[in-house]
Amino acid sequence: MNYLKFKKADGSVDLLPADELLHVSAPAGTSGDINITLGNSKYKYAVIAGDDKDGTATALTTASRNGINAAIEKLVNLPGNVVEVDLGEGLFAESITITDTAAT
């Protein structure tokens, strides 16, 4: 199984299984959260919320989306590995929520 590794502002990490990811959205609405569409039948989305270095909720950017896509592309050639996601300068993952509802 492959995983995407998201760094948090406090130095901890969240891992997201990456074997059934179908689509990475642009940052959504005013929250700037990113929806990753999952290819399993139980849940539809992984919603990535952003933080800055101080732990303040911050909108993710197009660079964040590009970083997630780049990490997924790396996993294609590295089966059974963990690849760290670069969300962009000064951006971290606040949370990853696995859900049936996309962020808007």
Residue 81 Cα to chain centre, angstroms: 16
**Residues found in the chain:** 104
With b meaning 16 or more CB within 10 Å and e meaning fewer, what string describes 21-45?
beebbebbeebbbbbbebeeeeebb
pTM beyond 0.85? yes
Provide DSSP, 60-76.
--HHHHHHHHHHHHHHH
Q: What's the pLDDT band for 19 if we cut at 50, 70, 90?
A: confident
How much is the pLDDT for 50?
97
How much is the pLDDT for 78?
79
